[in-house]
């Protein structure tokens, strides 16, 4: 993915990593469209950040995804980058079904079905572009589990393998697949995470991501240094230590 000259749609970008990345990509010379559920947040973003377009979308609703895709493509026929950013994280107790079942279904619907439906809505258009990119968003927790968030961990592990698989299928097209793998970042993903000393400051994370995208336009995975502890535990042979350290130090990590 080239760092500038793109038209980028980022659903799930009204706050946190999504919004920060959207603004950073705009500043690098891209046309950026932010998607989200709440009209008031979209209006505020449009007012505060001239040049950023917005569209209402609920990535848990197939009809909303279809309508948003039509709206985005009508206004931005040169769209060539889709970032499947929307995601939720829930603390669950899997010893009690009343504690986890509804939560797990919600997490999987948002974090896995959402990206699948988004890709389905845009893939034909993207394959018709001379140079296009799908950016999936997994997590360091795709590679080492946080005890209190089983469904989130599973959804992100699924996103990792989905990314690996569709990259193979799309190898003969103009569409690249890039997997963004955040560590714990100071956002509102979980209560208390915005102030967690174990989480990476949001500005530092996005700056490093943009620098990596710029330096490695052919990268398959975007990994800031802080996520590599989780990403490569099995390869290094210290997976058990990684899991123990993760669960001892950061009860609200991403």
Which residue range forms the structural domain that includes residue 71? 7-249
Q: What distance in Å separates the CA atoms of residue 81 and residue 134, rounded to the nearest whole number?
A: 6
Helix, strand, or coil (residue 10):
strand
Stated pTM of the model:
0.95
In the prediction, which pLDDT does 253 show? 42
SS3 4: coil
In a domain, 178, yes or no: yes
> How confident is the model at residue 251, as a pLDDT?
52
- Count of domains observed in the chain: 1
Helices 16-27/202-215 angle, 10° precision:
50
For the domain that residue 18 is a member of, what is the CATH number?
3.40.50.720
In a domain, 150, yes or no: yes
Classify residue 166: in a domain, yes or no. Answer: yes
Q: Identify whether 254 is part of a domain.
A: no
Q: Tell me whether residue 2 is in a domain.
A: no
Locate 193 and state its tokens. Answer: 């995470």
Residue for token pair 């896995």:
112
Per-residue pLDDT 10s for the chain (254 aa) are 999 999 999 999 999 999 999 999 999 999 999 999 999 999 999 999 999 999 999 999 999 999 999 999 999 999 999 999 989 999 999 999 998 999 999 999 999 999 999 999 999 999 999 999 999 999 999 999 999 999 999 999 999 999 999 999 999 999 999 999 999 999 988 888 888 888 999 999 999 999 999 999 999 999 999 999 999 999 999 999 999 999 996 554 44
Q: Is 232 a catalytic residue?
A: no
Two structure tokens written together for 54: 């917005």
Assess if residue 74 is contained within a domain.
yes
Q: Which residues pair with 55 in a beta bridge?
A: 35
- Please, which residues have CB within 8 angstroms of residue 249's CB and are 6 or more apart in sequence? 198
- Give pLDDT, residue 254: 40
pLDDT at residue 250, rounded to an integer? 53
Please tell me which residue in 152, 176, 183, 252 is annotated as part of the active site: 152
DSSP string covering 95-136: TSHHHHHHHHHHHHIIIIIHHHHHHHHHHHHHHTSSSEEEEE
What's the CA gap between 52 and 44, in Å, rounded? 11
1 is a domain residue:
no
Residue carrying the six token digits 């990259």: 167
Q: Is residue 102, in this structure, part of any structural domain at all?
A: yes
């Amino acid at each position: 993915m080239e760092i500038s000259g793109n038209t980028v749609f980022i659903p799930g970008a009204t706050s946190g990593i999504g919004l920060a990345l959207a603004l950073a990509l705009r500043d690098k010379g891209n046309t950026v469209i932010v998607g989200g559920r709440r009209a008031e947040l979209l209006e505020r973003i449009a007012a505060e950040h001239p040049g950023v377009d917005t569209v209402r979308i609920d990535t848990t609703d197939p009809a909303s995804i279809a309508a948003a895709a039509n709206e985005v493509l009508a206004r931005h026929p040169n769209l060539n980058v889709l970032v499947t950013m929307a995601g939720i994280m829930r603390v669950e107790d899997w010893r009690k079904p009343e504690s986890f079942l509804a939560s797990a279904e919600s997490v999987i619907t948002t974090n896995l079905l959402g990206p699948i439906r988004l890709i389905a809505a845009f893939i034909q258009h993207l394959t018709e572009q001379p140079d296009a990119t799908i950016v999936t968003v997994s997590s360091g927790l795709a590679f080492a589990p946080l005890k209190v968030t089983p469904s989130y961990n599973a959804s992100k592990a699924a996103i990792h393998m989905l990314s690996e698989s569709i990259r193979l299928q799309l190898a003969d097209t103009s569409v690249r697949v890039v997997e963004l793998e955040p560590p714990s970042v100071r956002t509102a993903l979980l209560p208390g995470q915005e102030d967690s000393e174990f989480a990476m400051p949001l500005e530092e994370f996005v700056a490093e991501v943009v620098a990596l995208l710029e330096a490695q336009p052919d990268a398959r995975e975007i990994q800031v240094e802080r996520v590599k502890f989780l990403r490569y535990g099995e390869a290094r042979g210290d997976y058990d230590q990684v899991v123990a350290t993760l669960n001892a130090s950061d009860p609200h990590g991403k």
